[in-house]
Chain A
Amino acid sequence: MESVLSMFTSFVEWLRQPGLTHFLVLSALLFSMGVFAILTRRNAIMVLMGIELVLNAANINFVAFARYTTHSLDGHIVAVFVIILAAAEAAIALAIVLNIYQTFNTVNVDELNTLKD
């Protein structure tokens, strides 16, 4: 009981001062939620949304480390490239999803088990 209370107070103390680990925990949470969406969603577009969450989580990590440990802008550059690739990926993936819809009349990833009609 005593130790639980002290853990709780140290946790509240940790919450009071945002630092590097706060951003890292936030990004871990976003990453896990993205993975959860990728694993559970039936609709291919929802899977894409999960991928976007994962990419955002990675970006937060890059920028947080650039801010708190390196004092250089390399992390920002990597984040810019991640955003560029996310845009390209979204365009390609949506084109593929549209094609799948026109061919199979569904975008549920668990029903798509053949490469062509």
Chain B
Amino acid sequence: MDLQTIVFYFFVLLTIVAAGVVVFSRNIVHAAFALLFAFFGVAGIYVFLMADFLAVTQLMIYVGGILVLLLFGVMLTSKQVNVDIRTSNFQLIPAAMIAGALFGFLAGVLVFTPWREGTNPSTPEATGPLLGELLLTKYVLPFEVASMVLLVALVGAALIARREKDRKNA
């Protein structure tokens, strides 16, 4: 057990425990904040996979953007000051059976498939410049399409989120 392994399992435990709180917590605000720790743990996993750029992107977009957006959603759609901020689960037993079977199947397939694993994993290097180069050469079309998708999605979201009477007045 070297230090690296211990830190790896720390991030794994952080991710799984936080995801468990997200899944099982009765309080929706607790679930949202647990999601923060789950995203943080996944960022740590990215660091272990030598994906430094992705780890930072994960922190900035998921923790800084998506999570804040979700929290806004929680605050805007729960009835007045945390009276009805609790949430409940339903269909617990069939869902647990489906999710458990899914996990067993996936884990079995993923563990017992003989992946062509490289004998010496690539040496650590900064992935940022390489990713930038790929995005502007090999993947320039998906990159442009993604920017259009983001633009359209955000304009559409702003339009949808307006109230009905505003639209009639306009």
Instruction: Please give the residue numbers on chain A whose beta carbons come within 8 Å of chain B beta carbons, in ascending order.
Output: 16-26, 28-37, 39-46, 48-50, 52-53, 56, 59-60, 63-69, 71, 73-74, 76-77, 79-81, 83-92, 94-99, 101-102, 107, 110
Those of B70-107 within 8 Å (CB) of chain A: 70, 72-74, 76-77, 87-92, 94-96, 98-100, 102-103, 106-107
Task: Say whether, besides A30-B19, A36-B95, A95-B160, A87 and B65 are in contact (CB < 8 Å).
Answer: yes
Chain B at the A interface: SS class: helix
Question: Are A20 and B115 in contact, with the CB atoms below 8 A?
Answer: yes
Number of A-B contacts (CB under 8 A): 230
23 A-B pairs with C-beta separation under 8 A? A20-B117, A22-B8, A25-B107, A26-B12, A29-B16, A31-B106, A32-B103, A33-B22, A36-B23, A39-B98, A43-B87, A65-B115, A71-B122, A74-B134, A77-B131, A77-B134, A79-B51, A83-B61, A91-B157, A95-B157, A95-B158, A97-B73, A102-B163
Question: Are A49 and B31 in contact, with the CB atoms below 8 A?
Answer: yes
- When distances are taken between beta carbons in the complex, the residues of chain B under 8 Å from A65 are 115
Question: Are B54 and A63 in contact, with the CB atoms below 8 A?
Answer: yes
Contact with A along B126-170 (1 / 0, CB 8 A): 010011001100010010001001100110111011011000000
Question: Are A69 and B117 in contact, with the CB atoms below 8 A?
Answer: yes
Question: Are A21 and B111 in contact, with the CB atoms below 8 A?
Answer: yes
Point out which of B54, B88, B127 has the most chain A C-beta atoms below 10 A from its C-beta. B54
Those of B43-81 within 8 Å (CB) of chain A: 45-46, 48-51, 53-54, 57-58, 61-62, 65-66, 69-70, 72-74, 76-77
- Rounded to whole angstroms, the CA-CA distance of A80 and B134 in the bound complex is 12
Chain A residue nearest to B50 in the complex (CB): A67
Chain A residue nearest to B100 in the complex (CB): A32
Question: Are A68 and B135 in contact, with the CB atoms below 8 A?
Answer: no
Measured CB to CB, the closest approach of chain B to A105, in angstroms, equals 8
Chain A at the B interface: SS class: helix
- Rounded to whole angstroms, the CA-CA distance of A66 and B153 in the bound complex is 29
Q: Which of A35, A56, A66 contacts B99 (CB 8 A)?
A: A35
Measured CB to CB, the closest approach of chain B to A54, in angstroms, equals 11
Task: Say whether, besides A36-B23, A69-B118, A90-B69, A41 and B42 are in contact (CB < 8 Å).
Answer: no
- Rounded to whole angstroms, the CA-CA distance of A29 and B15 in the bound complex is 10
Measured CB to CB, the closest approach of chain A to B156, in angstroms, equals 6
Q: Which of B66, B94, B127, B164 contacts A90 (CB 8 A)?
A: B66
Question: Are B161 and A35 in contact, with the CB atoms below 8 A?
Answer: no
- When distances are taken between beta carbons in the complex, the residues of chain A under 8 Å from B45 are 23, 26, 60
Measured CB to CB, the closest approach of chain B to A61, in angstroms, equals 8
Question: Are A26 and B15 in contact, with the CB atoms below 8 A?
Answer: yes
Question: Does any Cβ of A come within 8 Å of B37's Cβ?
Answer: no
